[in-house]
Structure 1
Amino acid sequence: MIITNITSQKDPERVNIFIDNEFAFGLFYSTKEELGLKKGLEIDEETIDKIKVRDELQSAKSKAYHYLSFRQRTQKELEDYLFKKEFSEDTIENVIQSLSQAGYIEDLDFARIYVRDKTTFKKFGPYRIKNELLQKGVSKELIDLALEEEYHEEIQELVDLVKTKYSSIIQDKSEKRFRRIGGYLQRKGHSFETIRKVLDSIDGKDD
């Protein structure tokens, strides 16, 4: 078998390979250059298979870089994304290893940033943050470390938040107030102890 022609695709990064005057496959221009593919080169099935494997890896890396360009991702998020794009397990494993070594995937850094953002902007508590990070595939050990380093409970900020959101019932010391405010803070991932501190602060019972 002989490569009889190489033509450009609409995507300037990719080319078409023709073997024995028939279209055989498309691949990245960089892969063509890397492997020295050119018109007139004799080629066999084993070489074609290797070319396709190499090109799939390049394609997966390209999509991974694009996916990571929007925001930082966990390893599991990237694995799930590439799996949905129907790349092989070997290709996904190679991409993950390559990007991890290059510093593009770092679950501890991701967890640290996540804790800071959710604490600062959403006023989430440690339970909700931990649960969401677990769902994103971050290990319990890394989550605990990130929370230990980055999470700081700010009772006054929660008091101000509650006073704004529940201004109409803030002076109501009935069970209704406890249920509504307690449920709200609990959904945000705060502990019963934190909820009690917030209510005590509102009632002027701070230590």
Structure 2
Amino acid sequence: MAKLTRITTQKKHKSRYNIFLDHGKGEEYGFSVEEDVLIEHRLQKNMDLDEATIQALIQTDTLHKSYTLAINYLSYRMRSEKEIRDYLKGKETDPEHIDEIVTRLKNDRLIDDQEFANSLVRTRVMTSSKGPLLVKKDLLEKGVAAPKAEEAILQYSFDQQYDKALKFAEKKLKSDGRKSHRQQIQNVHQTLMQKGFQGDVIQEVLANLPEEEDEDAEWEAVVYQGEKLLRKFQSKAEGYELKQKVKSGLYRKGFTFDLIDRFIDEYVEG
């Protein structure tokens, strides 16, 4: 049994208190607690504390500190249950305390994976170029269960997907101006898939892009790509072999035979 001899406020943390005890050999520092723990357990001078009570108070304070860390972590943005668990684990919180903290946060409606998922989808729709499949991937990586992720993704409407994908496709077409129209369309398709857009949205976007290339732009593109191929192969081949290498390269880049033959006639000697 120990007697509580003194309670002092910590200098750097005014909400924490140092508890001094006398086990019969004079006063010595025992442990520290948060103000909430001090008040809840009505700690005061001359109180008798047995070892079990002291250990329980230390555990209660440790739990309180971990809970406070979790609350602070939540103050910046919503978190999934997995994010909370991972954060507390990184802070070396006792596993039993983690379970207790998560339960308390759920009961207080401070964490809710469905609400978290809904909020993240709304944010991604407003602030990113990601399609629904990538957004769902984000949710799963944050520990949201698949059914909840699926429900949240329903908020990402077809029209929102289409508008976002079309804007990105038009931007991509402009940046690929020195490629063949066919390759531009292929690149748009591939990029939209990589961005996580669904097949029906991609097909709708592609159906509304220009179907035929601008002749002048296509000729400028074949000249640009053809000259690059000439610089690449001129030191290694000539005559018929050079023409075949350039033709093959331009065909793989999506140009028509008519344009390729015209380029060969005008730019390749022999």
TM-score, L = length of structure 1: 0.90
Q: Aligned match of 1:29 in 20, 24, 35?
A: 35
Matching residue's letter, 1:106: D
Q: Aligned match of 1:51 in 39, 50, 57?
A: 57
Q: CA deviation digits over 1:36-68, x for unaligned, max 9?
A: 111211111100111012112211111111111
- Superposition pairs for residues 35-184 of structure 1, below 5 Å? 35-148=41-154, 150-154=155-159, 155-169=162-176, 172-174=180-182, 176-184=183-191
CA 1:185–1:202: 2 relative to 1, 3 Å: same
Alpha-carbon distance in structure 2 between the residues aligned to 1:203 and 1:100: 52
Is 1:188 aligned to residue 188 of structure 2?
no
Matching residue's letter, 1:24: G
TM-score, L = length of structure 2: 0.70
- Please identify the structure whose Cα radius of gyration is greater: 2
Aligned-CA RMSD value: 1.9
CA 1:166–1:178: 2 relative to 1, 3 Å: closer
What displacement does 1:82 show? 0.9
Q: Aligned match of 2:207 in 184, 191, 200?
A: 200
> Mean alpha-carbon deviation: is it higher for 49-58 or for 165-174?
165-174
Alpha-carbon distance in structure 1 between the residues aligned to 2:167 and 2:51: 69
Aligned to 2:8: 7
What displacement does 1:166 show? 3.7
Alpha-carbon distance in structure 2 between the residues aligned to 1:198 and 1:142: 28
> Structure 1: which 5+ residue stretches go unaligned?
none
> Mean alpha-carbon deviation: is it higher for 88-97 or for 178-187?
178-187
Q: Which has the higher contact order (CA 8 A, sep 6+)?
A: 1
Alpha-carbon distance in structure 1 between the residues aligned to 2:172 and 2:186: 14
What displacement does 1:183 show? 3.1
Matching residue's letter, 1:173: H
Matching residue's letter, 1:178: I
Matching residue's letter, 1:19: L
Q: Aligned match of 2:21 in 19, 22, 37?
A: 19
